């Protein structure tokens, strides 16, 4: 019999839903965070032209995705630092620090000199900015998931926890839509020259707004209860590994498809449509914007459904769907028709929405409040770094090496199999009628 992980972190919390202030502060900050991180991938072809030597466009794009991956390489360090820190000083304080760090580093990208101006120094400065951005991002998801989960009423934790992903995808929609608008109004030449800087410069005012909202937010009821009882752990990192080490490995398996699917769809697909499938910039940004908007709208519905029927059905639908439908979806996209490209992307997007709607609450339910943020942050960021941050590079390399334009599908499918096995063997249901029956 396979071992299944119970959910020791399921504790009673207030049945009052989180206020709009809580949702908006957590969500708005998350919006800023993932707009900052995502806009780099959305504008990857423009960044390749500005920060790397002219010549081989594929080599420049691979270099751009290598720098993208560099920001993920350092994310585990951010997770090791910020995750346990949120268990020690509170979720709200860490979220404030993180949004400021990330927005400042993103703004810095918007003012960097290009390769034409300073040569090899340009990509070096770009790497430094991405490293700072990635370090800050290492503390974002775990803290937001923990905060939303701990504010949510017991029977609606899937719904409220999913709002982090909802706002994250809304940020991707905004970034992709902004790129579409700027390209359509300015034209390719102006966009390539200086228009690309505008989204990065917006990171500063957006980040300051997110900081203000998060500073006004109280910490979660569960963390305040730990403080009042003097039960906040003095050594969260050590305690996370001592009491939750095996479960952290399970969480890493849960995150594999989440990382690969997110960053393939959001970062790789716009450049894939342009460079491999030969769509125009406007067509590719339009397809990405429509797809991401569908995901943003569908995630909370999936979260609510996970509260009614359980987490595992949604997790299985998402992962099994990627195994079965990724190659057909990419085949549709390759046919050269914009409508079919949108359909293919939306199919993948709905699978992400099904999975994301359930996975945030699932992650939070794996750990008790004392170590929840750190125990999520460490394996989450390691898995996302290994599989998600490298996904655009690997997908581009696969096409370049094999000459087969649908080859990225197989990387996504392998990631989905890893997560599907993890869900089937190691996750015990904690929501819906099956969980209720098990308790009774």
> pLDDT digits over 259-313, tens only?
999 888 877 888 889 889 989 888 988 888 899 899 999 999 999 999 999 999 9
d(CA 397, CA 82): 33
Q: For 263-396, where are the E strands, in sequence order?
A: none
Looking at 10-14, 360-364, 394-398, which range is the least confident one? 10-14
pLDDT of amino acid 30: 79
Q: Which of 249, 251, 260, 250 is nearest to 415 (CA)?
A: 260
Task: Look at 382 and 263; give whichever has higher pLDDT.
Answer: 382
Q: Are 330 and 344 in contact (CB under 8 A)?
A: yes
Q: Is 347 buried (19+), middle (13-18) or exposed (0-12) by CB count in 10 A?
A: buried
- 239, 91 in Cβ contact below 8 A? no
| Measured distance CA(135)–CA(403) in Å, rounded | 35
Q: What band does 126 get if pLDDT is binned at 50, 70 and 90?
A: confident
The Cα 304–Cα 158 span in angstroms is 6
Fold of 20-439: Growth Hormone; Chain: A; (1.20.1250)
Residue 18: what pLDDT? 66
**Tokens at 193, concatenated:** 């020259």
Confidence of residue 372 (pLDDT cuts 50, 70, 90): very high
Percent of the chain at pLDDT > 90 equals 47
* pLDDT on residue 440: 36
Of 419 and 390, the one with more pLDDT: 419
pLDDT bin (cut points 50, 70, 90) of residue 86 is very high
| CA distance between the termini of the chain | 23
Q: What is the mean pLDDT of residues 163-172?
A: 88
pTM flag (> 0.85) = no
Tokens of 206: 């957006």
Q: Phi/psi class of residue 403: alpha, beta or left (left: φ > 0; alpha: ψ in -120 to 50)? A: left
Q: What is the dihedral of CA 183, 286, 122, 107, to 10 degrees?
A: 90
């Amino acid at each position: 019999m396979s071992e299944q992980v119970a959910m020791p972190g399921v504790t009673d919390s207030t049945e009052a839903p989180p206020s709009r202030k809580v949702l908006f502060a957590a969500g708005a900050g998350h919006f800023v965070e993932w707009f900052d991180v995502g806009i780099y991938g959305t504008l990857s072809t423009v960044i390749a032209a500005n920060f790397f030597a002219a010549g081989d466009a594929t080599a420049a794009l691979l270099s751009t995705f290598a720098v993208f991956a560099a920001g993920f390489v350092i994310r585990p360090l951010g997770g090791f630092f910020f995750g346990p820190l949120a268990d020690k000083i509170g979720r709200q304080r860490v979220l404030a620090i993180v949004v400021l760090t990330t927005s400042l580093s993103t703004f810095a990208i918007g003012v960097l000199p290009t390769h034409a101006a300073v040569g090899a120094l340009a990509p070096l400065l770009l790497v430094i900015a991405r490293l700072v951005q990635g370090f800050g991002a290492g503390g974002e998801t775990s803290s937001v998931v923990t905060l939303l989960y701990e504010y949510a009423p017991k029977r609606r934790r899937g719904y409220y926890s999913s709002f982090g992903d909802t706002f994250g995808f809304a940020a991707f929609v905004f970034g992709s839509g902004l790129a579409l608008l700027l390209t359509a109004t300015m034209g390719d030449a102006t966009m390539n020259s200086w228009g690309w800087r505008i989204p990065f410069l917006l990171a500063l005012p957006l980040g300051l707004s997110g900081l203000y909202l998060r500073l006004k937010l109280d910490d979660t009821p569960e963390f305040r209860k730990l403080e009042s009882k003097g039960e906040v752990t003095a050594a969260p990192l050590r305690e996370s590994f001592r009491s939750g080490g095996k479960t952290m490995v399970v969480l890493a398996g849960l995150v594999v498809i989440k990382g690969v699917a997110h960053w393939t769809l959001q970062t790789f697909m716009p450049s894939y449509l342009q460079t491999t499938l030969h769509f125009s910039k406007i067509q590719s940004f339009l397809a990405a914007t429509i797809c991401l908007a569908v995901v943003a709208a569908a995630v909370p519905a999936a979260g609510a459904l996970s509260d009614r029927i359980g987490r595992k059905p949604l997790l299985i639908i998402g992962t099994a769907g990627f195994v079965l439908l990724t190659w057909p979806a990419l085949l549709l996209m390759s046919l050269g028709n914009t409508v079919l490209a949108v359909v293919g992307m939306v199919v993948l997007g709905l699978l992400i929405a099904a999975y994301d709607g359930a996975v945030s609450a699932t992650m939070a339910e794996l750990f008790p409040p004392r170590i929840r943020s750190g125990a999520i942050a460490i394996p989450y960021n390691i898995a996302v770094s290994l599989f998600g941050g490298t996904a655009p590079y690997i997908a581009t390399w696969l096409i370049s090496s094999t000459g087969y334009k649908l080859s990225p599908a197989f990387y996504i499918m392998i990631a989905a199999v890893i997560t599907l096995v993890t869900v089937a063997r190691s996750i015990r249901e904690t929501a819906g009628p099956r969980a209720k029956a098990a308790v009774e």
